[in-house]
Amino acid sequence: MGDIEQAQRELIEEFSFFDNWIDRYQYIIDMGRKLPEFPEAWRTEDSLLRGCQSQVWLHTAASDSRLDFQAISDSAIVSGLIAILMRVYNGRDAREIVTTPPAFIAAIGLDAHLSPTRSNGLNAMIQAIKSAAEEVAAAGAG
């Protein structure tokens, strides 16, 4: 499956093929359309993330030290950002999630091209993923 660093490199390479941000936004939206179905039972108040302008639900499952994430949003662009995060973090080791910085954000240009509210939402999603990983890593260390 590779690791987080490899997933980030692959994303950076994919985004380098686009000459402008209109094409990049469309690619992000297209990625979001390919997210797996998110069960209605998971759309609970507990799985609703705070700090996102759009509604975002994140479901986390741990198996040993590996974390599996599934998420969905009511916004097309945010669903695309979720798809990017799932490519980077889904199925990864908790310690790797905690210790690997999300370098792809600046490398792709998301930090400069997302609105402040979308940036806040992206950061909230990353923080939720890292928090879940910290809990699993701490439990495994004990």
Active site residues: 52
Residue 100: CB atoms within 10 A of its CB come to 19
Distance CA(72)–CA(38), nearest Å, equals 6
For residue 7, give every residue at least 6 positions away whose Cβ sits within 8 Å of its Cβ, in sequence order, or none: 87, 88
Distance CA(58)–CA(50), nearest Å, equals 11
Distance CA(53)–CA(18), nearest Å, equals 27
